[in-house]
Structure 1
């Protein structure tokens, strides 16, 4: 039977402000990408989400980012490689404290936003992220875009790699994500997102923005938690996957 992991970005609040419905999303997903304080999140939020995830048997992942709270980690930044590696390790380590306190651990790492997209092609920044992950834990799996330099370098460094797809993001003909600043970059039609989710899981393909069918072989599917109606859409996606014969489970 075909299987796929469902991940979502959680803990994306700060202080009294909350963006994601963490508790409800944790009843749907199998992996939780927890913001580590650089693009969102704070110690109290990180601890709370780790405790909720541990109680539901959901894997905890460190969602590392450029240091960009004001821009939600979605602004392009130039960070020296040594500094970026240290900041990646710092974020993983901070989340690890709360994961261990909740009786579990950080099980993987996923870059966020501008950093995620930058390391698809940028060799220097990708290597810095790999160095940061290895500094924190040389055995941690990493999530990334299929064909990215990040996953290639991570594999060369001995890190387990997990390919990821996005049902609610538009793709280019090359299999990369259409930048968020462009029209149509985020797919808001719920029916389309559900249909794309099943297609990605069963056929390993997605229709690009230009109408071309593009191969995207992914072991994990991201459901964004910061979009309107995110919880209900996540439930619909999981139900559709199950009814189409896809087993939803955390990646091995």
Structure 2
């Protein structure tokens, strides 16, 4: 049987009068929803609306936690004490899970966002802070992250469930890290290319890199960012191609 894959996307990243992405269209194609918790994007009304739509569709909800950085959309690195970061992550988890429960669902996993996601690939102190917050709230929550990252290693040491993910709309270096968004070609927007990358991941366990060498990636989930132009169309094409090739699409958590 073909290994199943999860399709996840970042959702609820608008704020007040400002919209970001098409949450309803994205929820029609994903199996897991990374819902912003108010620190890099999202507000209580948006959070509740996304959770209600996810509950109605049976979509798994995850907490998309990040640095307290609305102005920078959570994509600016922030040096902060580990205890403060853990408290910030705990705050976001509790807020989203409370809203999710009121909407008829609950948070099942944690996926850090943006600069925090990139930091905890190698920064053991900040990675441990994310793990500590998750353990304090609910040690049964799965942590979703980059394969080989510090956060997944530390989570495993502490007995938390983990899941590795790959990105369909982001370019990779040969060492498995993501190409900086500042570089041309870092974000991939062609639906056929993104779908082909996902199929290659599922069938061959690898992705192409900008360095010319394939990257071995063992991932259970495949992500397209909600703010990538045409994100819903990208994910729809991915889902269609995977379905045509008999790949089951199921949530990891």
Quote the residue 2:44 is aligned against.
43
Whether contact under 8 Å (2:189, 2:234) holds in the other structure is: no
Deviations 1:139-182 (A, max 9, x none): 11010000001100011111100000001111111111112112
Alpha-carbon offset, residue 190 of structure 1: 2.2
Secondary structure of 1:119's aligned partner:
helix
Secondary structure of 2:210's aligned partner:
coil
Alpha-carbon offset, residue 24 of structure 1: 1.1
In the aligned structure 1, how far is the partner of 2:200 from the partner of 2:245? 10
Deviations 1:90-142 (A, max 9, x none): 00000011110112110000000000000000111101111111111111101
Q: TM-score, normalised by structure 1?
A: 0.98
Quote the residue 2:165 is aligned against.
164
Secondary structure of 1:248's aligned partner:
coil
In the aligned structure 2, how far is the partner of 1:115 from the partner of 1:179? 14
Deviations 1:179-206 (A, max 9, x none): 2112221112222111101111221100
In the aligned structure 1, how far is the partner of 2:139 from the partner of 2:249? 27
Deviations 1:195-222 (A, max 9, x none): 1011112211001111101101100000
Alignment of 1:211-226 (within 5 A): 211-226=212-227
Alpha-carbon offset, residue 227 of structure 1: 1.6
Structure 1 stretches of 4+ with a deviation exceeding 3 A read none
Alpha-carbon offset, residue 244 of structure 1: 1.4
Please list every run of 5 or more consecutive structure 2 residues that lacks an aligned counterpart in the other structure.
none
Deviates more, 1:195-204 or 1:59-68: 195-204
In the aligned structure 1, how far is the partner of 2:88 from the partner of 2:151? 17
In the aligned structure 2, how far is the partner of 1:49 from the partner of 1:189? 26
Quote the residue 1:150 is aligned against.
151
Q: TM-score, normalised by structure 2?
A: 0.98
Quote the residue 1:91 is aligned against.
92
In the aligned structure 1, how far is the partner of 2:205 from the partner of 2:161? 20
Deviates more, 1:26-35 or 1:171-180: 171-180
Across the aligned residues of Structure 1 and Structure 2, the Cα RMSD in angstroms comes to 0.9
**Does residue 130 of structure 1 match 2:131?**
yes
Whether contact under 8 Å (1:22, 1:49) holds in the other structure is: yes
In the aligned structure 2, how far is the partner of 1:73 from the partner of 1:241? 31
Alpha-carbon offset, residue 60 of structure 1: 0.4
In the aligned structure 2, how far is the partner of 1:148 from the partner of 1:221? 16
Alignment of 1:92-107 (within 5 A): 92-107=93-108
In the aligned structure 2, how far is the partner of 1:250 from the partner of 1:186? 24
Whether contact under 8 Å (2:40, 2:68) holds in the other structure is: yes
Whether contact under 8 Å (1:202, 1:246) holds in the other structure is: no
Number of residue pairs matched by the alignment:
252
In the aligned structure 1, how far is the partner of 2:239 from the partner of 2:191? 13
